[in-house]
C-alpha cells in the first residue's frame, strides 16, 4: 500500500489556483496523483458543510479517476478545519466519529476513518492550542479522547493513522526548541500527550526510520519568507501505525514541495 497524507490548507484554493501559492498547491496535488496512491488523507480542507462542490469534485476526479471521496466538514465554523480521505478501493465502512471532545471540536470535521480488510486507515486534524495557549486545556482533553478512540480501533485490527497532529514531539523535531517551550505545538503538555499516544502501542514511522536524524521537518511558517530557505521548520505531521505492523513499513518520507511553505505531504509505503 502507498498512502499519502497532507494538510492542504484549503481544497478550494488548490482547485481555483488563482494565486501563486494556489498554483503551487495544485502542482503538489498533481504530483500526489501521479504516484497513484491507494489512500490520500487530506487535512484542513476548509470545505463547506455539505462537502465538495461540483467544481471541486470534478477537478479532483480529473486527478484521481475512479477514486472514492469521503469528507468530514466543520459545521461549527464556516470554511474551517475539515478532513478527507480519497481511496482507490472502496472501504468496508467509513466513519466520521464524535469522540467526546470538548467545546465544538467534535463539530469541526477533524477525523475520517476507513475500514479495510486488514486495517483501519484514519486521518486527523488535531486542534491547535491557540494563541496564548487559550485552547490548551481543551487540547489535552482532545488528546485523551483521541487516544481512547484510536485504541478502540486497534483492539479490532491494526491502525494506520496520519495527519497534522499540531505537536513537535521532541526537541529534534523543530529548528529552535529553546525558544519555543511555551509555544503552541511544543508545550510540555502537548508533547507528553503525544508520548502517551505512542506508549499506548503505536510507532512514529518516520522517527523509527530515521532515529536521531535532525533537520527533518514537515511545516515551515508562511509568515517567515526565509523559513523554507533556511529549513527553519517543525515536524508536526505524522504517519503512525500499530506496533504490530511497524515492521511492515517499507518507506516513509516527507515529499518535496519546492518553494511552497506551510505543510508538506508525507508518503508511506507499507506491505499489508
Intra-chain end-to-end CA distance of the chain, in Å? 7
**What pLDDT is stored for residue 75 in this prediction?**
97
Residue 137 is among the residues annotated as catalytic for this protein: no
User: Residue 96 is part of a domain; what is its CATH number?
Assistant: 3.60.10.10
Question: For 229-241, what is each residue's pLDDT tens digit?
Answer: 999 999 999 999 9
Integer Cα distance of 155 and 1 in angstroms: 22
**What pLDDT is stored for residue 197 in this prediction?**
98
Q: How confident is the model at residue 208 (pLDDT cuts 50, 70, 90)?
A: very high
Mean pLDDT, all residues of the chain: 97
**What pLDDT is stored for residue 26 in this prediction?**
97
Cell numbers linked to 264: 508538506
Catalytic option among 67, 70, 125, 238: 125
Residue 149 is among the residues annotated as catalytic for this protein: no
CA distances from 202 to 161, 194, 272 (A): 10, 10, 16
Buried b (16+ CB within 10 A) or exposed e, 214-227: eebbbbbeeeeeeb
Question: For 220-230, what is each residue's pLDDT tens digit?
Answer: 999 899 999 99
pTM higher than 0.75 for the full model? yes
- Domain encompassing residue 161: 2-270
171 alpha-carbon distance from chain centroid: 20
**What pLDDT is stored for residue 53 in this prediction?**
97
**What pLDDT is stored for residue 206 in this prediction?**
98
243 alpha-carbon distance from chain centroid: 19
How many domains would you assign to the chain?
1
Mean pLDDT of the region 116-131: 97
**What pLDDT is stored for residue 255 in this prediction?**
98
Question: For 62-105, what is each residue's pLDDT tens digit?
Answer: 999 999 999 999 999 999 999 999 999 999 999 999 999 999 99
Catalytic option among 38, 106, 164, 262: 164
Question: For 130-189, what is each residue's pLDDT tens digit?
Answer: 999 999 999 999 999 999 999 999 999 999 999 999 999 999 999 999 999 999 999 999
The neighbour count for residue 138, using CB atoms within 10 Å, is 17
Cell numbers linked to 109: 470535521
**What pLDDT is stored for residue 91 in this prediction?**
98
Amino acid at each position: 500500500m502507498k498512502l499519502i497524507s497532507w494538510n492542504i490548507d484549503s481544497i478550494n484554493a488548490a482547485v481555483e489556483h488563482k494565486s501563486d501559492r494556489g498554483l503551487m498547491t495544485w502542482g503538489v496535488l498533481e504530483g500526489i496523483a501521479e504516484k497513484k496512491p491507494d489512500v490520500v488523507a487530506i487535512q484542513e480542507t476548509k470545505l463547506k458543510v455539505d462537502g465538495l462542490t461540483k467544481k471541486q469534485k470534478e477537478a479532483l476526479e480529473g486527478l484521481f479517476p475512479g477514486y472514492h471521496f469521503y469528507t468530514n466538514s466543520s459545521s461549527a465554523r464556516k470554511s474551517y478545519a475539515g478532513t478527507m480521505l480519497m481511496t482507490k478501493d472502496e472501504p468496508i465502512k467509513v466513519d466520521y466519529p464524535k469522540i467526546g471532545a470538548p467545546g465544538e471540536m467534535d463539530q469541526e470535521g477533524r477525523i475520517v476513518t476507513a475500514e479495510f480488510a486488514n486495517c483501519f486507515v484514519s486521518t486527523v486534524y488535531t486542534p491547535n492550542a491557540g494563541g496564548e495557549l487559550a485552547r490548551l486545556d481543551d487540547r489535552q482533553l482532545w488528546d485523551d479522547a483521541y487516544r481512547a478512540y484510536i485504541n478502540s480501533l486497534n483492539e479490532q485490527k491494526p491502525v494506520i493513522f496520519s495527519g497534522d497532529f499540531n505537536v513537535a514531539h521532541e526537541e529534534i523535531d523543530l529548528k529552535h526548541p529553546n525558544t519555543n517551550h511555551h509555544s503552541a505545538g511544543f508545550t510540555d503538555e502537548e508533547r507528553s500527550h503525544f508520548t502517551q499516544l505512542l506508549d499506548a502501542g503505536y510507532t512514529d514511522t518516520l522517527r523509527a526510520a530515521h532515529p536521531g536524524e535532525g533537520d527533518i521537518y514537515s511545516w515551515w511558517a508562511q509568515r517567515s519568507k526565509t523559513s523554507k530557505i533556511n529549513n527553519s521548520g517543525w515536524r508536526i505531521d505524522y504517519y503512525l501505525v500499530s506496533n504490530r505492523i511497524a515492521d511492515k513499513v517499507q518507506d516513509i518520507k516527507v515529499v518535496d514541495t519546492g518553494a511552497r511553505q506551510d505543510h508538506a505531504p508525507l508518503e508511506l509505503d507499507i506491505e499489508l
